[in-house]
Structure 1
Amino acid sequence: MPLGALRPSPLVEQATEHLREQITRGEWPVGTRLPGENALAKALGVGRSTVREALRALAGAGLVQARQGSGVYVIATEPAEDWPARLRRAAITDVYEVRVMVETQAARLAAERRTEEDVAALEAALAARHAAAAGDDAAFVDADIALHAAVVAAAGNPVLADLFAEFAPVLRERLIDLVELLGLRARDPDPGHATHAALVDAVRRGDGAAAEAVLRAELEHTLTHLRPRPDASADQA
């Protein structure tokens, strides 16, 4: 199937999409070596630099791989699933287990590294969470996540902060469902206030072990609600 010359206007994007279509249609099966940069540039009517950028984009999508001294090979016919999509598809228990590991260590680091500004932000977030108890479930969950985000931010590690930011949308959606489904705020509109206050206090005091322990207990308590319960027959066995 001839590639055909491209129209002027962002050429890299057009070249990338054109080559992607060839791969996803099976024109170049997995294991096939692509034509060289010169041949692709001539077929597409663009410069070698445009082809090079397009191949980089395809490599980033997990479709091709450059092999030193050999060329560029097709390694998949479907783009790799990005991280946010993977999180949305993952079981909430799997996401939450990773959250426990990430946030408990972040709490320890926060206690060791917190600044006066961090402590002020934590206290404000705790007060906002308490105030949100008077609102609906979505507002309360938002305030709860904001407090946890403040703890992660106090750890002073931008990679941890970015990782939590990736988790946050998935956590928000699932936690709102959980709160509504189980009626967790029916008796107490502000569940976990004492625990979260203890967490903020531990970070303020610089007690990393206490901050980690308090947060671990809180998150694992929620995790018990997320794990599937054994059926009645299993209970009776």
Structure 2
Amino acid sequence: MSSSPLGPLRPSPLVEQAAARLRAQIADGHWPVGTRLPGETTLAKELGVGRSTVREALRALAGAGLVRARQGAGVFVLATEPLADWPTRLRRAAVTDVYEVRMGIEVHAARLAARRRTPEDVAALERALEGRRAASAADDTAFVDADIAFHAAVVAAAHNPVLADLFAEFVPVLRQGLTELLTLTGLRADDPGTGDEAHAALVRAVADGDAETAAEVVRAELEDPFAG
């Protein structure tokens, strides 16, 4: 069976080329931070493209955090390097910083979970608690995964997709930080299921609809992750 040739690859879209040229000029210091870029007409002439192409290129640079348009004043340079995406920034963040934000997310999620939980949510929490207990016989990595799965079940019970997405973004950093914590402290040597009492108390509080107790249990646990 014959097929038509694919044909040559087309050059990168003009918008991408224009954005790359402007980005290079900014990185080289041609337009320092705080300065106003030439107008669209001037840039279009210099780049040999249409104004609409320049407009889209500037929009791409704004999305990368390099420039910002000010109403009636023009487009100004904000930075010489693009902002790292959210997952990259999280990977570079200090674990203590991540934990401070995690506490805000999970304390509120626990409060919401107690108010909004369904019978299916409670059953999922009970399964996650049993999974955490079963993992007490496993290595630190498996135990941490089971612990995170438990907390994910609490966040899921809050029925807020934004909170769930935020928690999911934190998981890789949490997994690494908690595993390192257990390895360094040896907390599980004498208590393989460390923190079980606090986690069981959280399940009870959510099941009972006790929002403030649920929030307090999480707050206390996250101040000392494997206490209880």
Query: What TM-score, normalized by structure 2, do the two folds share?
Result: 0.86
Instruction: State the distance in 2 between where 1:14 and 1:143 align.
Output: 47
Q: 1:96 touches 1:223 (CA, 8 Å); kept in 2?
A: no
Partner of 2:149: 146
Partner of 1:109: 112
Secondary structure in 1 aligned to 2:137? coil
Residue in structure 2 matching 1:77, options 75, 80, 83: 80
Q: 1:24 touches 1:78 (CA, 8 Å); kept in 2?
A: yes
> Shift of residue 124 of structure 1?
2.1
> Shift of residue 51 of structure 1?
2.1
Residue in structure 2 matching 1:53, options 56, 60, 63: 56
> Shift of residue 179 of structure 1?
0.5
Count of residues in correspondence between the two structures: 218
RMSD over equivalenced CA pairs, Å: 2.1
Instruction: State the distance in 2 between where 1:202 and 1:59 align.
Output: 46
Q: 2:32 touches 2:77 (CA, 8 Å); kept in 1?
A: yes
Residues 21 and 82 of structure 1: is their aligned pair in 2 closer, same or farther, counting only changes over 3 Å?
Answer: same
Residue segments in structure 1 that go unaligned for 5+ positions in a row: 1-6, 225-237
Partner of 1:235: none
Residues 186 and 22 of structure 1: is their aligned pair in 2 closer, same or farther, counting only changes over 3 Å?
Answer: same
Partner of 2:167: 164
Instruction: State the distance in 1 between where 2:226 and 2:94 align.
Output: 12
Percent of pairs with identical residues: 72
Secondary structure in 2 aligned to 1:77? coil
Q: Which AA in structure 2 matches 1:86?
A: R
Say whether 1:173 aligns with 2:176. yes
- CA offsets per residue over residues 41-83 of structure 1, 9 Å max, x none? 3433433333222211211222111111222111221223443
Q: Which AA in structure 2 matches 1:114?
A: R
> Shift of residue 223 of structure 1?
8.5
Query: What TM-score, normalized by structure 1, do the two folds share?
Result: 0.83
Partner of 2:222: 219
Partner of 1:228: none
Q: Which AA in structure 1 matches 2:187?
A: L
Aligned structure 1 segments of 4 or more residues deviating by more than 6 angstroms: none
Instruction: State the distance in 2 between where 1:101 and 1:215 align.
Output: 10
Residue in structure 1 matching 2:187, options 184, 190, 195: 184
Q: Which AA in structure 2 matches 1:208?
A: A
Secondary structure in 2 aligned to 1:133? helix
Residue segments in structure 2 that go unaligned for 5+ positions in a row: 1-9
